[in-house]
Amino acid sequence: MLDLKSDYHVHCNYNDHSPTELSIEKVTKYAEEINLNKLAFTEHVRKTSEWIPKYLEEIDRIVSSGTKITIISGFEAKILKNGTVDIPHEYEGHFLIASFHTKFYNKQNWLSALKSTISLPYVNVIGHLAPEESFELTDNELGELSKLLNENGKTVEINAKYRRPAMNWLRIFRDNNVKFHLGSDAHSLVEVGNFSSITNLIEFINS
């Protein structure tokens, strides 16, 4: 069953496209107000990101202040064409969502990169998973992905912002016992813990 009181994909003001007032403190306070039990900060990261120590220190400070919800410090990193992810090696031990953020324009290259990423031991979650407009995966390919996800203990995110994965992907993943959790992909306060856009996906998984 999906836990509606846990949001595993939330952003804050350490990226360049969220409101400046979207502080870790405000997000945490809002999450408490809407009675979330668990909140994962997963800020966009690159190998060149210089703000990471300050970001982690701020999360630690909020945790130490005695918040009543469980807070996870983590990152969302882009899947690269060589199948690695764009995160500095020293932070690979943190909770990590790996997502496609650039188009490959080639199904086999895309699939090869995804399979390599799934095999990385420090990746926890595959985020907002969906094919590119130019291709779709067969049921057999989705079955192979399911097996690989299970073998490597990976979770597939049910993403509220992009309403992904598609229902036919979820059906095959569910039939193959792939693990799921919810991520709002929030870039504003009102999006935190808000899964109203994916009610149909949640009902399908929980049925």
Is 16 a residue whose pLDDT tops 80?
Answer: no
Q: pLDDT (tens digit, 9 = 90+) per residue, 112-159?
A: 999 999 999 999 999 999 999 999 999 999 999 999 999 999 999 999
Asked if 42 and 9 count as a contact pair (C-beta separation under 8 A), the reply is yes
Q: What is the pLDDT of residue 85?
A: 98
Domain boundaries, the chain: 6-180
CATH match of 6-180 with 1.25.40.420:
no
CA–CA distance, 181 with 9 (Å, rounded to integer): 10
Percent of residues, the chain, with pLDDT higher than 70: 100
- Whole-model pTM? 0.97
Q: What is the pLDDT of residue 15?
A: 80
Q: What is the pLDDT of residue 17?
A: 78
Q: What is the pLDDT of residue 138?
A: 98
Asked if 86 and 77 count as a contact pair (C-beta separation under 8 A), the reply is yes
Percent of residues, the chain, with pLDDT higher than 90: 95
Q: What is the pLDDT of residue 18?
A: 77
Q: pLDDT (tens digit, 9 = 90+) per residue, 67-101?
A: 999 999 999 999 999 999 999 999 999 999 999 99
Helix-, strand-, coil-residue percentages of the chain, each rounded to 5: 35, 20, 45
Q: What is the pLDDT of residue 19?
A: 81
Asked if 157 and 194 count as a contact pair (C-beta separation under 8 A), the reply is no
Is 160 a residue whose pLDDT tops 80?
Answer: yes
Arithmetic mean of pLDDT, 194-198: 98
Across the chain, mean pLDDT equals 96
Asked if 170 and 123 count as a contact pair (C-beta separation under 8 A), the reply is no
Which one has a higher pLDDT value, 21 or 90? 90
Q: What is the pLDDT of residue 53?
A: 97
